[in-house]
Structure 1
């Protein structure tokens, strides 16, 4: 077959392919490229991805290496620890018992458990689920469960500790309450909570590869666990390559963490939940996904993204494309977008891979305005600034910001937000734009060592070593303990 005929066949095939299918293929390919780039940037050995629309899995893919020691490729059957995403399963279990009339989330935990300290007795199931209880934590300062694996000893030790704060005053991530929830599920369901979750969620949703376990268990096709940090002289330091991580969850702790699963199984779980197979009443799901309101009327969460916490489910509470977003071990995450027909599961085997930080960008391949490059996620005032910069040029950032302030005295640009946006622009290969944003930050916050440090870093990347050196020196004058600036000054001065 000659070259001309080959081209003709290709064109005919392209014309016969539906436009919607062509778009899906292009989207899928673009996501693959993006995911592989993220894996390379973050040193993630293996990643599983599932995307759900219209209660169907429209993309299921696995990338990378499940086992670095033996160079075993990851597959769709590879099993990943989901760590604290387990808490979302516990939230569903509690709501299942609520639908059966066996409890109310507003009930105090003392209705179901005896021998609790007096200060614990009025705490409600809802406050325990949402990490607003003020209970002392059953983890020690090294993130190890108290009691050396003994439930009795662990509870004895934690009950002797004082409350951390007045119930409802703030959000503080706490594992103790989830151990208590496990005891309540045991009592009210008539079976161990692991069995209850297996029967009522894993089997109902169609999750054949999902199970409870940890690093101690021999799990076929496990993707294992890796991390980029190691302990040196009592401090965590960064490795250049992933090292093996060991995680153990005592049986009584597995309402908080301990489920192993696949992206495909997790997608089936989300679909079963949305189709009413796990919870019959839509109001139950609405209650489960409603973030707790603190005593001051606000919500509290992990960070600016997962900024609220509901019944076992972190929430991404925002005006645009809100979501619920369980995260686990800094390695796995799933987002269910509440106003969009879209859910995304990302499981990895790297602690510190933090896929919750790039799930929104994956969503952007289906909802265009969610791309970071289109300004998604920027604070309202930053969006106003961005709109003007796009019209008048980033070189005019200082004067534009000044005019916006004159027009509205309450207009304020936060230092950290500007800094974050600057690095986003840098990642998007927009070095000139990033430089202008970092320069603006030094003008707005002349007393910030970090502002000058970031500006110097990007000047150095841009090849302007003289100005980079000047700004590193300004940074170290403001903060003599800035080790990065000191190292960069030494390096640049020697050239």
Structure 2
């Protein structure tokens, strides 16, 4: 009997192993194709489910100049996805009853302007504070002088009214953490979320600094058909919002601990993921620090950063998916990749419309179908709002590879000749490729169709100067 049971167990493990290998093989095939189609220099991906690492692999090069391959030792920049660690730190202090998310920030900062005194910790977490964003100012200023400049500015809106992404929010969260704990922000994160072990973890906002194993982000310059290093220089005020670079094994470890509620109790974790209601919208868009993504009707939570990184949690599936890269020739693919991998792991998460849309876009990038072909396919998929979807696709391309945007917007103008927005979009695409004459012509057509189109009016004025 024991022998039969042992044989059955071994057989079951064998079946599970074969199934996992089959899924892993398909994931690798998909990722290799994605890297090729979108021109991604280097990337890494991982899937964690039920506390097991279902998938982990590395592709391409982290440093184009030296052809250094991406590996388990590569510290990949998370950029704005770094905010997730800051969020967990804030809620750890909430759990310890050292702070409350409803606390006004005036409790911690006595020198702030009067109109800032309505701002709460929750407003900082949800980007609903309305306070000025420090990235609009001279970042070389000493911190005390930068604060004075911020204090002179009018608030953007009343706290709680809107969502407006803002790095100052996370600088102030870090200052609160430091004030309460007496630690430097980065030291507190590493001690409490990484067991005090900084191996494979780096807080740095200075990308000109040469650091072994750190991967560099690259911007694609379509006119010259090459990648250029993206090397912003900042200091520690950027750390809570975008400053961490980390190896995949250490990030997997962190995600496993989040899934197991190792950092926070289940009750505090639930509070962190409560949807925040903005007075003037949007709805079901953001929690207390985490972005909300609907995947085939399932609510998922996470964050993205720099157009290259994405971390996503699927609580109902006890799953997390990580996708990290260092650039692309087309458009940011992290959400697309994460959604696709989720559908490969769990069919309940597979959105057939999204998969078809991704395939159409891939065929367009590879030159197998024209912009008109994209329109005809989109018309079948999105009969009610074909123009909106075509417009959204064009804007995906407009920064990295605007020639694709021009083709799509030209088709949009042909198919929707009475749409002021179609001409406005085409005008912006022509500006991106440096054809100001055609840009001006299309902005004028947009303005003729809609005299209240302020964007077209502003662009025409800019082109005149």
| Length-normalised TM-score, structure 2 | 0.76
In structure 2, the partner of 1:387 is none
2:22 to 1, 20, 26: 26
2:167 to 165, 175, 179: 175
Task: Say if 2:259 and 2:319, in contact at 8 Å, map to a contact too.
Answer: no
1:241 equivalent to 2:219? Answer no
Q: Could you say if the C-alpha distance between residues 308 and 448 of structure 1 is closer, same or farther in structure 2, counting changes exceeding 3 Å? A: closer
Report the aligned-residue RMSD: 3.7
In structure 1, the partner of 2:349 is 370
Q: Which has the higher helix share?
A: 2
1:313 equivalent to 2:290? Answer yes
The DSSP-based 3-state class of the residue aligned with 1:26 is helix
**Counterparts of residues 216-227 of structure 1 (less than 5 Å):** 216-227=208-219
**Counterparts of residues 297-312 of structure 1 (less than 5 Å):** 298-299=281-282, 308-312=285-289
1:284 equivalent to 2:268? Answer yes
Instruction: State the distance in 2 between where 1:424 and 1:44 align.
Output: 14
For residue 159 of structure 1, report the CA deviation from its aligned partner. Answer: 1.1
Instruction: State the distance in 1 between where 2:387 and 2:87 align.
Output: 45
Larger radius of gyration: 1
In structure 2, the partner of 1:383 is none
For residue 444 of structure 1, report the CA deviation from its aligned partner. Answer: 6.3
Q: Could you say if the C-alpha distance between residues 439 and 85 of structure 1 is closer, same or farther in structure 2, counting changes exceeding 3 Å? A: closer
Instruction: State the distance in 1 between where 2:173 and 2:308 align.
Output: 24
For residue 299 of structure 1, report the CA deviation from its aligned partner. Answer: 3.8
Instruction: State the distance in 2 between where 1:32 and 1:178 align.
Output: 36
Instruction: State the distance in 2 between where 1:450 and 1:366 align.
Output: 29
Deviations 1:5-25 (A, max 9, x none): xxxxxxxxxx99823222211
Instruction: State the distance in 1 between where 2:292 and 2:87 align.
Output: 13
For residue 173 of structure 1, report the CA deviation from its aligned partner. Answer: 0.2
Deviations 1:106-152 (A, max 9, x none): 11111111101111112110111110111111111xxxx53415211
> Which structure 2 segments of 5+ residues have no match?
1-10, 395-409, 439-465
Deviations 1:88-121 (A, max 9, x none): 1111111111111111011111111110111111
For residue 445 of structure 1, report the CA deviation from its aligned partner. Answer: 7.6
Instruction: State the distance in 2 between where 1:369 and 1:426 align.
Output: 28
1:192 equivalent to 2:170? Answer no
For residue 194 of structure 1, report the CA deviation from its aligned partner. Answer: 1.3
Task: Say if 2:300 and 2:312, in contact at 8 Å, map to a contact too.
Answer: yes
Instruction: State the distance in 1 between where 2:365 and 2:146 align.
Output: 46
| Length-normalised TM-score, structure 1 | 0.71
Task: Say if 1:215 and 1:248, in contact at 8 Å, map to a contact too.
Answer: yes
The DSSP-based 3-state class of the residue aligned with 1:203 is coil
Q: Could you say if the C-alpha distance between residues 91 and 239 of structure 1 is closer, same or farther in structure 2, counting changes exceeding 3 Å? A: farther
Q: Could you say if the C-alpha distance between residues 330 and 149 of structure 1 is closer, same or farther in structure 2, counting changes exceeding 3 Å? A: farther
Deviations 1:185-218 (A, max 9, x none): 11100111111111111226x7630120131333
For residue 430 of structure 1, report the CA deviation from its aligned partner. Answer: 9.7
In structure 1, the partner of 2:405 is none
1:103 equivalent to 2:99? Answer yes
1:254 to 230, 236, 239: 239
Deviations 1:434-479 (A, max 9, x none): 665445699868999968x99xxxxxxxxxxxxxx99875667866
The DSSP-based 3-state class of the residue aligned with 1:65 is strand
**Counterparts of residues 14-413 of structure 1 (less than 5 Å):** 18-140=14-136, 146-203=138-195, 208-213=199-204, 214-229=206-221, 240-279=225-264, 281-296=265-280, 298-299=281-282, 308-317=285-294, 320-350=297-327, 353-372=332-351, 374-375=352-353
Deviations 1:282-332 (A, max 9, x none): 111111122311114x545xxxxxx62223321214672211121111110
Instruction: State the distance in 1 between where 2:379 and 2:292 align.
Output: 34
Q: Could you say if the C-alpha distance between residues 84 and 70 of structure 1 is closer, same or farther in structure 2, counting changes exceeding 3 Å? A: same
> Which structure 1 segments of 5+ residues have no match?
1-14, 230-236, 301-306, 379-418, 455-468, 491-495
Instruction: State the distance in 2 between where 1:289 and 1:190 align.
Output: 27
For residue 277 of structure 1, report the CA deviation from its aligned partner. Answer: 2.4
Q: Could you say if the C-alpha distance between residues 226 and 448 of structure 1 is closer, same or farther in structure 2, counting changes exceeding 3 Å? A: closer
The DSSP-based 3-state class of the residue aligned with 2:118 is coil
Q: Could you say if the C-alpha distance between residues 447 and 358 of structure 1 is closer, same or farther in structure 2, counting changes exceeding 3 Å? A: closer
The DSSP-based 3-state class of the residue aligned with 1:375 is helix
In structure 2, the partner of 1:403 is none
Task: Say if 1:78 and 1:221, in contact at 8 Å, map to a contact too.
Answer: yes
Deviates more, 1:267-276 or 1:419-428: 419-428
**Counterparts of residues 449-468 of structure 1 (less than 5 Å):** none
Task: Say if 2:44 and 2:56, in contact at 8 Å, map to a contact too.
Answer: yes
For residue 240 of structure 1, report the CA deviation from its aligned partner. Answer: 2.5
Q: Could you say if the C-alpha distance between residues 278 and 119 of structure 1 is closer, same or farther in structure 2, counting changes exceeding 3 Å? A: same
